[in-house]
């Protein structure tokens, strides 16, 4: 069923994509700007993929030698499918921008239609490719195998697929994030602040790079990001089910519960693709109706049907089982409620309707220093509720999972099936990825359309319309962000538990005790990694932005007539700076994320257990802290621009611009990479367990 749903999703994506490309791209002037963006984005992606190919070949060879050739092949397919989904999404997005801008001349509804369908092309590609690859590998290697022991061995190879997806995601997010923020910060610091020209002004040499950045960072990067977390969320419960089966907790292969436990994650995901397509039809807007509501309707319709579908799945299972698997629906609900509430907290801390952003705006009155202090403080404060919610979701999903199989399992088995509930909670949260990505990815298209409108000198009202489109996505995007954070945490924990269970399966006395000094040292080192990662990526943005600032200043100085629109700036030089910086700077953090866990695991697998626990905890904290602080600074600036505390041009506004600039790498480079980082490190550890076990048994 899963591959068929995936194929339906791919067909739908193809249909939507070709529909978008058939729309009128507008007059030549607009199309030319779009062409420059297309070229820049394509050139970057191609260079990025070239580097990734080298990297993937090296890792694949290591995997083939240290683990197994099949794992290596799975790794490569995971990487390729992720890159392909990102490429398709970006291909359509960079063409949808001018079409959206042109349509906005006519009506908002038409512009929304194009940009949203472009986003959904990407969303469906991401979900369908991931599900297709994963389900085919599972069909090939895991389903139909006779014993859990063999299943367990084979699922270890499928983990290669998830590792490939996560590795590509990390590079895409970090590279794209550095690209987009170097261009953005560079364009703002010289263009807006020093030269005093508006955003997206064609006189700014960095403006094309800035618009390219929106696509490679927010479209391709985000797509790869969700490809990996979606893959992880489906694979995590499957791995747990198989491993717990091998440990004897679930009964023999072929018993009702064992069969269901293995296939249920794929079923939930398959339903999610169909419900996302249904949700698409609910997004219709007439001129004058609220855009906001149209988008929400789509998301809510899809979510509503999906919840019913999940309930039905567990209900059927319940009918066939001697246990009460219907309780697992409770696990899924725990995850959904936590994700929803985290989204609401995100909105509270980042929206300019509430106190936190107002306080940052107020603190801007006494200058940039107090703005920064208040923003950092707000970001840190915003971690409290999400972390508590994740903790409650873990406990709740665990308790429900425990209830589901209360009457057959052994004591250790009780803990195991409880954790299976935790893993399923993440699957449920991400099952609607297709439409969620759609809502998320339409934002940058609208943003780009606004940029083209500005550069092509379209009437003011067009820009207003694209801006309204851009703004509207934010609420829905905030909720999607909540789900992303919560599910990353739950998936990482499930994978972490799978790691322990896998090691335990081969080395029975393998245990993770919190008072073991090696594990304590591991926790310390693991907790430090996200800080190191944030430092490297922020430093990268800082260096790249510095180079960009110098280049823009040079062009303003040396190219006569830019300011009078008489000479065209050398856009391509700025594009080249962003491209080269991003490619150079993304390598180190990405490689470290893969190498460090493997090195520690070879040294001592128990220490790696502590390492992962520490990394997941601080990774989540920094993800929430940095994303929310960045969002709050952004909106504090917009709030002041809306007229508060003196409005545009006031001292408070200048201070708020400083906060916004600091927030850029926070919310678009370092923050969003954290979830991928922790998932990548856990899945890498899990994939390399055969190597660690071999080393331990050799000693």
Which of 653, 656, 92, 688 is closest to 100 using CA atoms? Answer: 92
User: Which residues ranging from 370 to 409 are in contact with its own copies (CB under 8 A)?
Assistant: 370, 372-374, 376-381, 383-384, 387-388, 390-392, 394-395, 398
45 vs 534 by CB, closer to its own copies: 534
96 vs 519 by CB, closer to its own copies: 519
CB of 395 to its own copies, least distance (A): 5
CA trace torsion 321, 323, 325, 326 (10° rounding): 100
CB of 686 to its own copies, least distance (A): 14
Among 134, 512, 574, 674, binds its own copies (CB under 8 A): 512
What SS3 state is found at 250? Answer: coil
Angle in degrees, CA 92, 450, 286, rounded to 5: 80
Q: State the CB neighbour count (10 A cutoff) for residue 58.
A: 11
Contact segment (CB under 8 A) with its own copies among 47-55, 79-87, 464-472, 608-616 equals 608-616
Among 238, 285, 431, 500, binds its own copies (CB under 8 A): 500
Contact segment (CB under 8 A) with its own copies among 40-48, 90-98, 321-329, 495-503 equals 495-503
- For 654, counting Cβ atoms within 10 Å of its Cβ (0-12 exposed, 13-18 middle, 19+ buried), the class is middle
Which of 479, 179, 144 is closest to 299 using CA atoms? Answer: 479
What SS3 state is found at 285? Answer: coil
CB of 505 to its own copies, least distance (A): 13
**E-only strand ranges, 222-302:** none
550 vs 568 by CB, closer to its own copies: 550
CB of 458 to its own copies, least distance (A): 31
302 vs 586 by CB, closer to its own copies: 586
Among 17, 414, 590, 609, binds its own copies (CB under 8 A): 609
420 vs 571 by CB, closer to its own copies: 420
CA dist 590 → 76, 147, 174, 175 (Å): 16, 37, 8, 10
493 vs 693 by CB, closer to its own copies: 493
Which of 35, 34, 49, 40 is closest to 175 using CA atoms? Answer: 49
Stretch (H or E) spanning 268: helix 256-282
- Does residue 526 contact residue 612 with C-beta atoms inside 8 Å? yes
User: Which residues ranging from 514 to 573 are in contact with its own copies (CB under 8 A)?
Assistant: 514-525, 527-528, 531-532, 534-536, 538-539, 541-542, 545-546, 549
Chain centre to alpha carbon of residue 4: 25
413 binds its own copies (CB under 8 A): no
User: Which residues ranging from 141 to 200 are in contact with its own copies (CB under 8 A)?
Assistant: 185, 189, 193
User: Which residues ranging from 610 to 669 are in contact with its own copies (CB under 8 A)?
Assistant: 610, 613-614, 617-618, 620-621, 625, 657-658, 661-662, 665
Contact track, its own copies, 312-351, x by CB under 8 A: ----------------------------------------
CB of 341 to its own copies, least distance (A): 16
CB of 369 to its own copies, least distance (A): 4
19 vs 392 by CB, closer to its own copies: 392
Contact segment (CB under 8 A) with its own copies among 53-61, 125-133, 244-252, 609-617 equals 609-617
CB of 338 to its own copies, least distance (A): 12
207 vs 661 by CB, closer to its own copies: 661
274 vs 617 by CB, closer to its own copies: 617
CB of 24 to its own copies, least distance (A): 40
Tell me how many residues contact its own copies (CB under 8 A). 81
User: Which residues ranging from 431 to 490 are in contact with its own copies (CB under 8 A)?
Assistant: 489
Q: Which residues of 468-491 are buried (b: 16+ CB within 10 A; e: fewer)?
A: bbbebbbbbbbbbbbbbbbbbbbb
CB of 372 to its own copies, least distance (A): 5
Which of 688, 685, 696, 694 is closest to 526 using CA atoms? Answer: 685
Among 28, 290, 511, 568, binds its own copies (CB under 8 A): 511
- Does residue 101 contact residue 25 with C-beta atoms inside 8 Å? no
Which of 517, 590, 644 is closest to 175 using CA atoms? Answer: 590
- Does residue 181 contact residue 217 with C-beta atoms inside 8 Å? yes
CB of 689 to its own copies, least distance (A): 15
CA dist 477 → 275, 484, 583, 631 (Å): 19, 10, 28, 12
CB of 19 to its own copies, least distance (A): 42
CB of 416 to its own copies, least distance (A): 10
Q: State the CB neighbour count (10 A cutoff) for residue 21.
A: 15
Q: Which residues contact 140 (CB under 8 A, 6 or more apart)?
A: none
Q: Which residue shows structure tokens 């050739």?
A: 69
63 vs 527 by CB, closer to its own copies: 527
User: Which residues ranging from 680 to 699 are in contact with its own copies (CB under 8 A)?
Assistant: none
- Does residue 569 contact residue 205 with C-beta atoms inside 8 Å? yes
Angle in degrees, CA 120, 125, 130, rounded to 5: 135
301 vs 527 by CB, closer to its own copies: 527
DSSP 287: T
CB of 199 to its own copies, least distance (A): 16
CB of 186 to its own copies, least distance (A): 9
118 vs 669 by CB, closer to its own copies: 669
What SS3 state is found at 67? Answer: coil
119 vs 609 by CB, closer to its own copies: 609
User: Which residues ranging from 16 to 75 are in contact with its own copies (CB under 8 A)?
Assistant: none
CA dist 432 → 468, 484, 616 (Å): 25, 11, 24
CB of 478 to its own copies, least distance (A): 20
398 vs 639 by CB, closer to its own copies: 398
404 vs 617 by CB, closer to its own copies: 617
- Does residue 99 contact residue 117 with C-beta atoms inside 8 Å? no
Of the chain, the end-to-end C-alpha distance in Å amounts to 45
Among 363, 430, 441, 462, binds its own copies (CB under 8 A): 363
- How far apart CA 356 and CA 371 sit, in angstroms, is 12
Chain centre to alpha carbon of residue 416: 28
Q: Which residues contact 314 (CB under 8 A, 6 or more apart)?
A: 264, 325, 326, 328, 329
- Does residue 110 contact residue 140 with C-beta atoms inside 8 Å? no
196 vs 517 by CB, closer to its own copies: 517
98 vs 628 by CB, closer to its own copies: 628
Could you give the angle at which helices 291-320 and 256-282 cross, rounded to 10 degrees? 160
- Does residue 44 contact residue 582 with C-beta atoms inside 8 Å? yes
Contact segment (CB under 8 A) with its own copies among 9-17, 267-275, 346-354, 411-419 equals 411-419
């Amino acid at each position: 069923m899963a591959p068929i749903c995936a194929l339906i999703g791919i067909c739908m994506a193809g249909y939507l994509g070709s529909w978008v490309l058939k729309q009128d791209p507008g007059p030549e002037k607009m199309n030319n700007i779009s062409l420059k963006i297309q070229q820049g984005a394509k050139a970057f992606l191609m260079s990025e993929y070239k580097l990734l190919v080298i990297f993937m070949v090296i890792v694949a060879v290591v995997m083939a030698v240290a683990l197994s050739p099949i794992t290596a092949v799975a790794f490569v397919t995971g990487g390729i499918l992720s890159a392909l989904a990102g490429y398709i999404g970006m291909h359509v997005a960079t063409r949808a921008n001018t079409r959206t801008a042109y349509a906005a001349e006519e009506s908002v509804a038409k512009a929304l239609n194009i940009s949203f369908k472009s986003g959904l092309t990407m969303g469906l590609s991401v979900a369908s490719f991931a599900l297709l690859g994963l389900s085919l590998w599972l069909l090939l290697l895991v389903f139909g195998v006779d014993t859990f022991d063999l299943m367990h061995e084979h699922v270890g190879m499928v983990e290669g697929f998830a590792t490939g997806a996560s590795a590509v995601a990390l590079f895409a997010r970090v590279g794209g994030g550095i690209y987009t923020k170097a261009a953005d910060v560079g364009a703002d610091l010289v263009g807006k602040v020093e030269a005093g020209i508006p955003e997206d002004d064609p006189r700014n040499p960095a403006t094309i790079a800035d618009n390219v950045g929106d696509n490679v960072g927010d479209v391709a990067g985000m797509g790869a990001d969700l490809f990996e977390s979606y893959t992880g969320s489906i694979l995590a419960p499957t791995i747990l089910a198989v491993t717990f089966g091998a440990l004897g907790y679930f009964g023999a292969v072929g018993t009702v519960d064992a069969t269901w436990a293995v296939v249920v994650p794929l079923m939930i995901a398959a339903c999610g693709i169909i419900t996302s397509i249904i949700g698409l039809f609910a997004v219709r807007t007439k001129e004058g109706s609220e855009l906001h509501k149209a988008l929400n309707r789509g998301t809510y319709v899809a979510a509503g049907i999906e919840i019913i579908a999940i309930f039905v799945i567990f209900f059927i299972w319940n009918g066939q089982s001697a246990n009460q698997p219907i309780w697992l629906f409770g696990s899924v609900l725990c995850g959904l409620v936590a994700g929803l509430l985290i989204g609401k907290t995100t909105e509270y801390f980042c929206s300019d309707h509430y106190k936190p952003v107002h306080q940052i705006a107020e603190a801007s009155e006494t200058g940039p220093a107090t703005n920064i202090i208040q923003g950092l403080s707000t970001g840190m404060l915003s971690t409290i509720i999400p972390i508590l919610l994740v903790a409650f979701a873990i406990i709740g999903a665990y308790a429900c999972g425990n209830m589901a199989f209360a009457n057959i399992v052994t004591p250790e088995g009780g803990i195991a099936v409880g954790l299976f509930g935790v893993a399923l909670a993440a699957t449920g949260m991400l099952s609607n990825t297709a439409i969620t990505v759609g809502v998320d990815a339409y934002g940058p298209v609208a943003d780009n359309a606004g940029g083209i409108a500005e550069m092509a000198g379209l009437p003011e009202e067009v820009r207003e319309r694209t801006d309204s489109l851009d703004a509207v996505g934010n609420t829905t995007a905030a909720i999607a962000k909540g789900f992303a954070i919560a599910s990353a945490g739950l998936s990482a924990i499930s994978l972490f538990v799978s790691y322990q269970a896998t090691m335990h399966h081969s080395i029975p006395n393998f245990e993770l005790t919190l008072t073991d000094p090696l594990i304590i040292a591991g926790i310390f080192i693991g907790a430090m990694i996200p800080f190191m990662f944030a430092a490297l990526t922020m430093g990268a943005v800082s260096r790249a932005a510095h180079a960009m600032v110098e280049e823009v200043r040079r062009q303003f100085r040396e190219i006569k007539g830019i300011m009078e629109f008489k000479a065209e700036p050398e856009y391509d030089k700025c594009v080249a700076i962003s491209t080269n910086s991003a490619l150079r700077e993304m390598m180190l953090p990405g490689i470290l994320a893969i190498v460090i866990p493997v090195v520690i695991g070879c040294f001592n697998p128990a220490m790696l257990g502590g390492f992962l626990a520490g990394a997941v905890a601080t990774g989540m904290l920094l993800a929430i802290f940095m994303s929310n602080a960045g969002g709050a600074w952004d909106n504090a600036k917009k709030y002041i621009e809306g007229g508060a505390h003196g409005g545009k041009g006031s001292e408070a506004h200048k201070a708020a611009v400083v906060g916004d600039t600091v927030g850029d790498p926070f919310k678009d480079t370092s923050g969003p990479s954290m979830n991928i980082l922790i998932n990548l490190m856990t899945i890498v550890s899990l994939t390399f367990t055969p190597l660690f076990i071999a080393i331990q048994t050799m000693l």
